[in-house]
C-alpha cells in the first residue's frame, strides 16, 4: 500500500508515466502480494483472501489536497472510485475489507473521497471493515448506521507517541479482536525496552464483539464515562506515561473526531 511518504516530493502522485514506472517497480518487488497489472495503473488492487473474504487496498494520494501534481494533471484518480464501486458490486455476496492509509474524515483524505466512499458503503453493506493509519494515533471512526473503521498507531513515534504494533484476530471474514502492543521509548533508549501488550480491544472496552453496534455503543459510553475516556486518551498516544492531564473539555477534541457527520 502506498502512503504519502512513499513518493517524492512527499504527498505528490499522479497517474502519469513517471509515477506509473515507479508503481511498476514496486509491483515487481511485491508481485507475490499484489495484482501487478492493477497496481501498476494507480497503486490500488484487490486480493481474494479466502472463499468469503476479499480485501481492497486503495491509494489515498489521489485525493490529498497537498498533492499539487495531481491537481495540475486534472485531479484524476486512474478510475479508482469507479473501481471501488465495481469491485463491491462484483463481490456483493462476499465480505469486503478496505485498507487505506489516510483515514476517512482527515484533511489529507479530501472531502470528495470521504463523501463518495461513505455513499458507496451505504449502497454496499458487504464492505464490512476498514483499516487506516497515517495519524500515528490509536483511534476508531464511525459513520452511517453500519460503517466503522480502525485507525492503528504507528511503529514510527510521532511527538509524544510510543512505537506501536497492532495484531488483528479474525475468523474467516470477521474481526474477533485485536491486540495492541507498544514499546516504551524511554526504556528502549536506555537499552531495556521491548514490545509489550497494551490491551485487547474486547477486554479493555468490554465489547461483546467488534461489530459496528459494539463500537457505536462504546462511543456513547465514552461520552459520559470518565474512566473510559482516560483509557482512550492514554492509548491514543501509545500508552505514554508522560501525558498532560486531559479533563472533560479536553476530551471533546478526541471524541468529536470519532463520529463522521
> Cell triple for residue 105?
474524515
172 and 128, same domain (yes or no): no
38 and 91, same domain (yes or no): yes
119 and 200, same domain (yes or no): no
52 and 130, same domain (yes or no): yes
Q: Tens digits of per-residue pLDDT, 16-34? A: 888 888 899 999 999 999 9
Q: How far is CA 3 from CA 43, 59, 103, 159, 208, in A?
A: 10, 8, 11, 19, 33
Domain limits at 182?
154-261
Q: How far apart are CA 90 and CA 81, in angstroms?
A: 14
Task: Please state the rounded mean pLDDT for residues 87-106.
Answer: 96
Q: Could you tell me what percentage of the chain is helix, strand and coil, using 3-state DSSP and rounding each to the nearest 5?
A: 35, 20, 45
Task: Please state the rounded mean pLDDT for residues 30-57.
Answer: 93
178 and 242, same domain (yes or no): yes
| CB neighbourhood size of 5 (10 A) | 11
| SS3 readout for 153-202 | CCCCCCCCCCCEEEEEEEECCEEEEEEEEECCHHHHHCCCCCCEEEEEHH
Amino acid 160: pLDDT: 79
Task: Please state the rounded mean pLDDT for residues 33-50.
Answer: 92
The last residue of a domain, from among 87, 103, 134: 134
pLDDT band at 261 (very low <50, low <70, confident <90, very high): low
Q: 87: helix, coil or strand?
A: helix
100 and 189, same domain (yes or no): no
Report how many domains make up the chain: 2
Assigned domain for 139 exists: no
CATH number of the domain to which 89 belongs: 3.30.750
Amino acid 204: pLDDT: 98
112 and 226, same domain (yes or no): no
Amino acid 245: pLDDT: 93
Amino acid at each position: 500500500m502506498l502512503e504519502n511518504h512513499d513518493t517524492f516530493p512527499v504527498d505528490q502522485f499522479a497517474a502519469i508515466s513517471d509515477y506509473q514506472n515507479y508503481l511498476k517497480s514496486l509491483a515487481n518487488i511485491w508481485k507475490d502480494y499484489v495484482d501487478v497489472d492493477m497496481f501498476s495503473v494507480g497503486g490500488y488492487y484487490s486480493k481474494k483472501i479466502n472463499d468469503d473474504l476479499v480485501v481492497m487496498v486503495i491509494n489515498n494520494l489521489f485525493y490529498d489536497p497537498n498533492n499539487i501534481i495531481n491537481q495540475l494533471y486534472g485531479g484524476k484518480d486512474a478510475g479508482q472510485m469507479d473501481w471501488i464501486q465495481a469491485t463491491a458490486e462484483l463481490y456483493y455476496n462476499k465480505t469486503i475489507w478496505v485498507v487505506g492509509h489516510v483515514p476517512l474524515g482527515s484533511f489529507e483524505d479530501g472531502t470528495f473521497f470521504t463523501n463518495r466512499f461513505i455513499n458507496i458503503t451505504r449502497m454496499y453493506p458487504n464492505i464490512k471493515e476498514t483499516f487506516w493509519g497515517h495519524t500515528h494515533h490509536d483511534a476508531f471512526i464511525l459513520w452511517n448506521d453500519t460503517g466503522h473503521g480502525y485507525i492503528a498507531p504507528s511503529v514510527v513515534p510521532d511527538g509524544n507517541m510510543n512505537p506501536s504494533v497492532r495484531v488483528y484476530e479474525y475468523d474467516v471474514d470477521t474481526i474477533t479482536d485485536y491486540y495492541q502492543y507498544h514499546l516504551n521509548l524511554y526504556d528502549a533508549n536506555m537499552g531495556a525496552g521491548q514490545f509489550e501488550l497494551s490491551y485487547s480491544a474486547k477486554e479493555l472496552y468490554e465489547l461483546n464483539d467488534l461489530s459496528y453496534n459494539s463500537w457505536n455503543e462504546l462511543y456513547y459510553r465514552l461520552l459520559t464515562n470518565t474512566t473510559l475516556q482516560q483509557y482512550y486518551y492514554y492509548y491514543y498516544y501509545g500508552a505514554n506515561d508522560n501525558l498532560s492531564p486531559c479533563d472533560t473539555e479536553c476530551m471533546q477534541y478526541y471524541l468529536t473526531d470519532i463520529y463522521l457527520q
